Amino acid sequence: MWSRDQRSESGRINLLDRSILSRAYFSGEHVARHQLDSFNHFLEYNLQKVVDEQRIIETDIENRGKNSEAVWVELGTIRILKPTVREADGSQSMLYPAEARLRNLTYAAPIELDMTLVQGEMRGEPFTTTIGQLPIMVGSVACNLAGLSDTDRVNYGEDGLDPGGYFIVNGSERVLMTLEDLASNKIMTEFTERYNERIYVAKVFSQFRGYRALVVVEKNKKNLLEISFPSVAGHLRFVDLMRALGLGSDREIVEAVSTDEEILTYMMQNLEESDCSTIEDGVMYVGKKLAPNQTREYQRRRAEFVLDSYLLPHLNYLMPESLKEGDPGYEDAVIGVRLAKAHFLGRMAEACFDLVLGRRKIDDKDHYSNKRLKLAGDLMEDLFRISLNRLTRDIKYQLERASMRHRDLSISTAVRADVLTERLLHPLATGNWVGGRTGVSQLMDRTDRMSVLSHLRRVISPLSRSQPHFEARDLHPTQWGRICPSETPEGPNCGLVKNFAQMVEISKGYDNTEEVKSIFYNLGVEPLSIGRIRL
């Protein structure tokens, strides 16, 4: 039993804890914290990650001077400066959100990128150039208001209690909606109907560097497995595709799926229907599907390119970026990635058979563990990736044009900053985002403070408003503590437009795959090894 003093002391501690908790979750700082944290992470890590993905701008320039020289541009470190405004007389000054609103300006900061021009054996000095303007979220680390007290913010024309978390484009305040979508790189099972026959399906949305591919494994009425994925018309036989990926023997294919006796019965039927007996036969089977009536060598190269690029692209992270074609170990790395894809397809086939045998149920798409949220930082990363790709194509064109006119090649004249800026600003101003989505950027609702807080914490679903989608509109039990049960509009948007609960916390992914692997291996997980290839 506790004494009276102990009980009173415990009560004081509980009151203190509750006071700290309420200040943490019900203060103005927490309202848009998820958007600010996401955008800050984009500025600190993902901007450089996108640049590193591009890394080199190759050109088709040849025969400059006496020797044939390859010309390319290497990309280096990217930096975001503070928002500034350039006046008519050419002077520059710091830009604050209040001034941007009053003068109908865009609250954006210059982007600087280090570039190095390489011409054959000649390597130029790294050159820092401004490649465009990046819209800055009010309240983020790049904002001029960052770190200022409430009093100082008032002096710059801001409300001290303004939560931030929005952009200012041409004087208008724009909010990026949080997008809700199915989790990528996760196997999900379902039923589908075709010609009054039930088809069992295992599918995965494979995503890598902004590219998203739907890979489907399905069992037809003859108990045969078929696979479909982008760039391949129709379906491919499961066993023949597994051979093309490097599993030459029947035993390896079966063990990649399952050694369960009931599943073995289905696998025997698939093996009997196969026309391929070697890895070479499997590659040519895929090549004939992709490029009929072409030469054998072209079919082989086309099949290998499609398998490496479009089939389960999220597993391409296993390929070391430093390796180039012809380097020692390159072939082993390619074989390793293909084997990893084969075993992932084996897992998908096993999930499909488990569904047939009643060992697992179909996956609930409305369960929140099967959902992922795209916040402002993720959306800006997708937009910046497309915009940078557009800029690199323009730089390549400018260098090639200068070469044809026999001018000296220069990065400063090849970079046109308005190409990137326009590509970044237009989606923010209109709401039409990359990938064909509309309504991603919305004009902030300033009716009152509550409408502002609601707008900053809104979540929208990609499902069509004109379809019933009864289950998607229902309140799912897993939304408890994550989604507000009452704040959703009436009418066609009911249940598809939602709002975060007050105490929601949003976790983010972890990029260091090697560290995650080492944790699993320390827990006793054994790596998958085939011959001298370790996956």
Band (196; pLDDT cuts 50, 70, 90): confident
pLDDT at 192: 86
> Beta 92-94 vs 108-119: how paired, if at all?
unpaired
Q: What is the mean pLDDT of residues 6-29?
A: 64
As beta bridge partners, residue 132 has 111
Q: What is the mean pLDDT of residues 24-30?
A: 74
Q: What is the mean pLDDT of residues 263-274?
A: 90
pLDDT at 129: 93
Q: What is the Cα 313 distance to its own chain's centre? A: 12
List of E strands, 342-451: 371-374, 441-443
Its pTM stands at 0.89
pLDDT at 105: 95
Is it the case that residue 7 has pLDDT exceeding 50?
no
DSSP classification of residue 177: P
Percent of the chain with pLDDT over 90: 59
pLDDT at 326: 75
Q: What is the mean pLDDT of residues 441-466?
A: 92
Q: What is the Cα 492 distance to its own chain's centre? A: 29
Distance CA 23, CA 12 (A): 16
Kindly give the interhelix angle for 376-404 and 33-41, rounded to the nearest 10 degrees. Answer: 30
3-state secondary structure 447-515: CCHHHHHHHHCEEECCCCCCCCCHHHHCCCHHHCCCECCCCCCCHHHECCEEEECCCCCCCCCCCCHHH
Per-residue pLDDT tens for 339-377? 999 999 999 999 999 999 999 999 999 999 999 999 999
Rounded mean pLDDT of the chain?
A: 88
Q: What is the mean pLDDT of residues 228-253?
A: 91
Give the C-alpha distances (Å, rounded to integers) separating 252 from 129, 144, 239, 249, 267. Answer: 53, 60, 11, 5, 12
Is it the case that residue 5 has pLDDT exceeding 80?
no
Is it the case that residue 10 has pLDDT exceeding 60?
no
pLDDT at 353: 93
Band (534; pLDDT cuts 50, 70, 90): low
Q: What is the mean pLDDT of residues 12-39?
A: 77
Q: 11-25, 133-147, 353-367, 466-480: which range is least confident on average?
A: 11-25
pLDDT at 13: 53
Per-residue pLDDT tens for 307-327? 999 999 999 888 877 777 777
Domains of the chain: 33-176+375-449 (3.90.1100.10), 188-369 (3.90.1110.10)
- Greater model confidence, 324 or 426: 426
pLDDT at 1: 46
Percent of the chain with pLDDT over 70: 94
Per-residue pLDDT tens for 52-86? 988 898 888 765 554 557 888 999 999 999 999 99
